[in-house]
Amino acid sequence: MSKRDLKKYLAQLNKEQLEEQIIELYEKFSPVKVYYDFAFNPKEDKLLQECKVKISHEYFPIKKPGSKWRPKAKMRRSVAQKYIKHFISLGVDPFVIADVMLFNLEIAQTFSSQNFIKQELFYKSMLNSFEQVVNFTISNGILNEFKERILAVEQQTIQQKWKNRYDFETILDKIT
């Protein structure tokens, strides 16, 4: 069904029928429930803090009480990407989304400053995240608010002697 057909169909329904359909969608489909829950009670601060905790646990996992072993860092970019995609779909403020994007890079760099990382994929993944945040801040007109943090991430790649540090520099050429 096209959007045009949907509009035509919805125009034929009265208010009560529309309400029934929306309630049915809300009860039947989890993404609809999540959307409406957020739309009517947008707790962006709570979402942001929950997100940052999950991302930081990817690099600095917490030892469970009573356990002898400390869990190994998983360093999955996908955890942050899932939150970013979710935030975009909910219509969360672009400032919050950019903050999450940069937090992911900053926590990864904190981890890499304390640990040797031999997986090439880690560096490639961080480069993709860096390019994503630069493009996102440009397209949303919020680059100036995040430029300092973006430059700091690039400087860390140089300071930590990342193999792909020059690729980060190339991306920065877009904004200078």
Provide the residue-wise pLDDT of the chain in tens; the chain has 176 residues. 888 988 888 889 899 998 898 889 888 988 888 788 777 777 778 888 999 999 999 999 887 777 777 788 888 889 999 999 999 988 899 999 999 999 999 999 999 999 999 999 999 999 999 999 999 999 999 999 999 999 999 999 999 999 999 999 999 987 77
pLDDT value, residue 41: 75
Phi, psi of 157 (to 5 degrees): -65, -35
Work out the angle at residue 79's Cα, subtended by the Cα atoms of residues 78 and 81, and round it to the nearest 5 degrees: 60
pLDDT value, residue 142: 97
How would you classify residue 67: left for phi > 0, otherwise alpha for psi between -120 and 50, otherwise beta?
A: beta
Q: Torsion angle, CA of 116/117/118/122, rounded to 10 degrees? A: -160
pLDDT value, residue 100: 96
Domain boundaries, the chain: 1-41, 44-172
Task: Choose among 47, 56, 90: nearest CA to 74.
Answer: 56
* Radius of gyration for the chain, computed over Cα atoms and rounded to the nearest angstrom: 21
